[in-house]
Structure 1
C-alpha cells in the first residue's frame, strides 16, 4: 500500500497505513467492476423477459416463457462452482487475480450471446448454445462478488466497513439501471420487429467496451492488505474450502439464507419477471416495452440510494439492526408491489418497484461487511463466495420461474406475494440467529477471535 501522513492517512485492518487516494481507487474500481459484471448478467435476464422466449424457445408454445426464465436460474446452479474456484484461488493467490478473470469470462460470454443465431436460423443448437453461455456467466458471477467485497472491506477502516462494503453492492442497481436504460433506448431506436431482429443484440455487444474499461480500472488497484499479510507470513490455507465446510458449515447455510431472503424478492426485476409479466401481449396488462424498462431503470436509482444509505447506517447502528429494519421495509414492499403493478399504470408500477427497492437496499447494502466479519481471514474468500452462491440458488435462481408457474396455476399474483413474503421471513429468521460482529478485527493476527461462532447458542464454529 502507498504510505501517507497527516489527516488523510488511515490504517488498514492489518495496521498498514493507507492513503485516502488508495482507498478511493479501491472504491471506484469495485463500483466500476461490479457494475460491468452485473450489467452483463442483467442484460440476459431483461432479454429473457422481453424476447428470448420467442426467439429461442418458440416451439414450446405456452411454456416458452417458463423455460426461458428457467435458463436464468440454470446459471445460478453453476454459481457455486464459480464460488468454489474463486474461493480456492482467491484464498491461495489473491483477490485481484480472480477479479480480473471473472470480468473477462463474463464479458466474453455476454458478447457471444449478442451474435448468437436464433432457433429459426440454426434450430435446437441455438438454445443449447444460449444455455452454455449463460452457464459461463453464472460461473463468473459466482466468483465475482466475493473478490469485489473483500477488496473493498479489507481496505476499509473498521468504523467504515459498511460504507466501503456498499461500493460493490451498488454495482447491482447500477448494473440494472444500465441494462434497463440501454434496453429501453434500443426499444426506441429499433421499435417493433426491428427490436426482435437486431435491437436486443446491441446491449450485449456493448459489453466489449465496458469490459475494457473495467479491466483497465481493476489493474490499477493493489491487492487486499489482509491477503498481502497472509501471503507475507505464508499463512494461506492449503485447502480453504475443506476447512470452511469442516468448521463452518452451519454458518455458511445461515449466511446463505440471509441472502436468499433478499435475492428472491430482488429477482422480480433483476430476473426480468416484472418486465415480462407487464409487457406480455397476451397478459392482463400488455404495457409497452419502453415505458416499463424506464420504470425499472428508475427503481434501480432508488435501490442504489437505499443500498448506499444502508451501508453507512450499518456503521452507526450495526449490521444486524440495519437488516432487521430492512426486512420489515421489504415485507411492506412485497405486499404493495402487485396491487400497484396490476393497476396498469406505468407510474404506479414505478411506485411499487421504488417502494420495494427501499427494503431491498437495506437488506443488501450491509451484506458485504456482514459476510466479511463472519469468516476467518484465511478462508474468508471461500466463506463469503460460497455463502453468496448458495443463497442465490435458494433465493433468486428460480424466483421468476416459480412466480410464472404460480400465476399460471392460480390465475392470481397473490400467490407470488405470499411466496415473496415467505422468503423475506426466512431472511429475517436467519438474521436473528447471528450475532452482530461489526468492527471485529479482520487481520490474520485475530484468527482465533474470528473463528468463534457468530451463531447464537454456539461457542465454536
Structure 2
C-alpha cells in the first residue's frame, strides 16, 4: 500500500476517532451528571433514591431515541452517503448538549425543567443513533482488506476516549470550584464546552471522502428506495441473535461507567473524586488496548477472540459487585480497572461483526438498527433496572444475577451466530465470524 493510499485512510481513521470521541463525550457527560448532579437539579422534590432513579430514567431516554436516530440516519446513509449523515449527527449531538448546559433547573422553571431535559436527551440519542454505526462504516469501508478490524476499531476507541474526556472535564471543573458552586451552576461548564469541541470535530470530519463501498454501490446502481426493508431479508433468526450477541457489552459497560458512580457514592460512601479518577484510568486502559485486540483479530480471526472475551466478561460481571462491596480502596481499583481491561475485548470488534452481517448498499440501515436496539436493551436499561433492584432488595445480589444472566445470553447468542455464518476465505470480504 503506497503513501498516497495510506494517508487518506489515516485521515479517515483520525476523523472517525475524533467525531466518535466528541459524540461520546456529550453522551457520557450526561451519564456522569445523571449519577451525581441531576437528581438535585431537576428532581429535588423526590427522595435521594427516587431522584437517582428518575435521573437514570432520563439517561435511558437517550437510548430509547437511539433506534430512531439509527433508522433515520441509516436510511439516508444508505441513500445519500455516509459522510453528510455523520456531519449532521455530530451537529445534532453538540446542539443538544449545549442547550442542556443552558437549561434552567427545577427551582427556576418548575416541571418544565425535567420535561425539557428529557427532550434534549432525545436529541442526543437521535444524534448518537446516527453516529454509532456510521463512524464504524466510514472506517471499515475505507480500510485495507488485511486491516479491517483494526480500522473499524478506531471509532470504537471513541467510546472510552469520550468518557475520559467527559470525566476529566467534569473532574477538573468540580475540583477547582467550591462544592456548592459546582452543584449549583458549575456542572454546566462541561456541557457548554461541547459547542467548541463540535466545531473542531466538524472541521476534521468535513475533510474526509465518501467510502469506496458506497461509491461502488452508486456506480452499480444498487441504491434502493427502502434499504432497511432489504437489510431485514438477512433473516429474523440471524438478526435477533446478532442483537442478543451485542447486549452484554453495552449493559456491563454502563453499569461500570454510570451505575457504579451512583452506587459507590450513595451506598458505599466512597469518595466521588476517587471513583471518577479510577473509572477514568480504567477507560484509558480500555482505549489503549483496543489496537492490540483489533490487530489480533486481523491476524487470528475475531470469532474466537469475541467468544473468549465474552467468557471473561461473564466472569468479571459476576465478581464486580462483590469486589466493590469490600469498600477496600485497592479491591475497588481492581474491580474497576479489570472492567477497563476486559470490556474492550468484545467491544472493539462488535461493530464490525454487526456491519458485516449486511451487504454494503444496505449496511448503514441494518447495522444502525441492530446496534441501537442492543444499546437500548443493554446499556439503556441496565442502570435503571439495577437501581430498581437495589432499591427493592437493599443488596446487589439481584443486580449480579441480572448482569450475569445477560452476559450468558450474549455468549450463547454469539456461539449460535457464528455457527450460522461460517468463516469465509481470506480473499473474500470478512463475514461476521471472520
Report the alpha carbon displacement of residue 294 of structure 1 after superposing the two structures with TM. 0.7
Corresponding residue to 1:342 among 325, 328, 337: 325
In structure 2, do the counterparts of structure 1 residues 290 and 191 end up closer, same or farther at CA, with 3 Å as the change threshold? farther
Q: What's 2:199 paired with? A: 212
Q: What's 2:260 paired with? A: 274
Can you list the C-alpha shifts for 1:249-285, whole angstroms capped at 9, x where unaligned?
3322221111111111001133x211111112xx2x2
Distance 2:291 2:193 in 1: 27
In the alignment, is the contact (CA less than 8 A) between 1:370 and 1:437 conserved in 2?
no
Q: What's 1:75 paired with? A: 62
Q: What is the aligned-residue RMSD (CA, Å)?
A: 1.7
Corresponding residue to 2:16 among 30, 33, 39: 30
Distance 1:291 1:109 in 2: 29
Q: Which structure 2 residues correspond to residues 173-188 of structure 1 after superposition, within 5 A?
A: 173-188=160-175
In the alignment, is the contact (CA less than 8 A) between 1:252 and 1:386 conserved in 2?
no
Please state which structure has a larger fraction of its residues in helix: 2
Report the alpha carbon displacement of residue 437 of structure 1 after superposing the two structures with TM. 4.5
Q: What's 1:96 paired with? A: 83
Distance 1:258 1:264 in 2: 12
Report the alpha carbon displacement of residue 301 of structure 1 after superposing the two structures with TM. 1.1
Report the alpha carbon displacement of residue 230 of structure 1 after superposing the two structures with TM. 1.1
184-193 or 336-345: bigger deviation: 336-345
Distance 2:10 2:404 in 1: 38
Distance 2:236 2:83 in 1: 26
Corresponding residue to 2:119 among 132, 139, 142: 132
80-89 or 308-317: bigger deviation: 308-317
Distance 1:23 1:228 in 2: 16
Corresponding residue to 1:8 among 2, 12, 34: 2
Distance 1:415 1:357 in 2: 23
In the alignment, is the contact (CA less than 8 A) between 1:91 and 1:382 conserved in 2?
yes
In structure 2, do the counterparts of structure 1 residues 345 and 179 end up closer, same or farther at CA, with 3 Å as the change threshold? farther
Structure 2: 5+ residue stretches without partners: none
Q: What's 1:305 paired with? A: 288
Q: TM-score, normalised by structure 1?
A: 0.89
Distance 2:184 2:324 in 1: 29
Corresponding residue to 2:182 among 183, 188, 195: 195
Report the alpha carbon displacement of residue 247 of structure 1 after superposing the two structures with TM. 4.2
Provide the aligned length of Structure 1 versus Structure 2.
Answer: 428
Whether 1:321 aligns to 2:307 is: no
In structure 2, do the counterparts of structure 1 residues 440 and 336 end up closer, same or farther at CA, with 3 Å as the change threshold? farther
Whether 1:376 aligns to 2:359 is: yes
In the alignment, is the contact (CA less than 8 A) between 2:68 and 2:126 conserved in 1?
yes
Q: What's 2:5 paired with? A: 19
Distance 2:119 2:171 in 1: 26
321-330 or 240-249: bigger deviation: 240-249
Q: Which structure 2 residues correspond to residues 40-439 of structure 1 after superposition, within 5 A?
A: 40-61=26-47, 62-270=49-257, 272-280=258-266, 283=267, 285-435=268-418, 437=423, 439=426
235-244 or 136-145: bigger deviation: 235-244
Q: TM-score, normalised by structure 2?
A: 0.95
Report the alpha carbon displacement of residue 322 of structure 1 after superposing the two structures with TM. 0.9
State the SS of the aligned residue for 1:365. helix
Distance 1:347 1:29 in 2: 38
Distance 2:42 2:104 in 1: 9
41-50 or 141-150: bigger deviation: 141-150
State the SS of the aligned residue for 2:45. helix
Structure 1: 5+ residue stretches without partners: 1-6, 10-17, 443-448, 456-461
Report the alpha carbon displacement of residue 29 of structure 1 after superposing the two structures with TM. 0.5
